[in-house]
Amino acid sequence: MSTKNQNTKEAQARGRVVITGKIKEARVSQAQTIIGQIKANPAYANTPKVQECTAAFEAAANALSTNLASIKAARTALVPLLASRVTLDADMRRTQNTLEAVITDVGKGSAEAIQQWGLAVAGRTPTPLSNDPPGDLKASYNRSLQLVLRWKGIRSHIGYLLEIGDGTPTGWGQPITLATARFIPTGLIPGQKVAFRVAVRRKSGLSEYSDMLTVTLR
């Protein structure tokens, strides 16, 4: 399952908890109002059977209210844990991508390939390289009304990683590997609000991601 789909399912699950909780809270409030009206009826004091049923009704409403409070507290504790897990998964994917690139370059066996990852070669000192992210991430539409993303190309790069998300810290999908500083996303819906960010894969490693660009699709 992709990170984007996973985030969507978790958001939907949290949404269902909120909606269900609000509906049940409204029902508890309604039940308590009805109980108050029954007790306020002058005939209530002289009807033991009604008193018995009302007491059972009130006990059930109070128990449900307590359960709702426990669910709300549990959900409050769960949300940051879900966010932490998604962030950790994204960090692990980036680390794996970097390690795979290191293994590939070091496997070439040349001094230049080994140096580019900051690894020492006997008798030589690695040349320091910039690790800044790409700049000038912009979006425009071509003649076919397709959204086109562009950014400032980086010299000596070995590729780019583009992430698409919903603009939240944990809402980024699986990184897309690109060779050029240009990309046309597909599968997006008019009116949808989408966020983009890009990082560069240099021989010295993976840069930080650029500032986020948010676009509302036409």
pLDDT the model gives residue 19: 47
pLDDT tens digits for 114-139? 666 666 656 555 544 567 888 899 99
Domain membership flag for residue 21: yes
Does residue 143 share a domain with residue 81? no
Structure tokens at 125: 């000192």
Q: Flag whether 142 is in a domain.
A: yes
Structural domain harbouring 34 = 3-88
Residues 135 and 218 in one domain: yes
**What number of other Cβ atoms are within 10 A of residue 209's Cβ?**
20
pTM: 0.42
| Residue at 181 is within a domain | yes
Q: What is the pLDDT tens value at each position of the chain, 218 positions in all?
A: 555 555 565 565 555 545 456 677 777 788 778 888 888 888 777 888 777 877 887 887 787 778 777 777 777 776 676 667 777 777 778 877 777 776 776 666 666 666 666 666 565 555 445 678 888 999 999 998 899 999 998 877 889 999 999 888 888 989 999 999 999 998 888 999 999 999 999 887 888 899 999 999 98
How many residues would you count in the chain? 218
Angle at which helices 3-40 and 48-108 cross, to 10°: 170
Q: What is the pLDDT of residue 125?
A: 52
The single residue listed with the structure tokens 């990852």 is: 117
Containing H/E element for 36?
helix 3-40
Residue by residue, what is the 3-state secondary structure of 162-176?
Answer: EEEECCCCCCECCCE
> How many other CB atoms are found less than 10 A from the CB of residue 123?
6
C-alpha neighbours within 13 Å on the C-beta side of residue 80: 4
Judge residue 8's burial from the number of C-beta atoms within 10 Å of its C-beta, 0-12 exposed, 13-18 middle, 19 or more buried. Answer: middle
Residue whose pair of structure tokens reads 């059972």 in the numeric block: 56
- Residue 211: Cβ within 10 Å count: 11
Task: Give the end of a domain, one of 34, 66, 88.
Answer: 88
Q: What local confidence, expressed as pLDDT, does residue 21 receive?
A: 60
Total tally of structural domains belonging to the chain? 2
- What is the distance between the alpha carbons of residues 139 and 209, in angstroms, rounded to a whole number? 17
We report the CATH number of the domain holding residue 154 as 2.60.40.10
Write down which residue in 34, 56, 88 finishes a domain. Answer: 88
Backbone φ and ψ of 64, nearest 5°: -65, -40
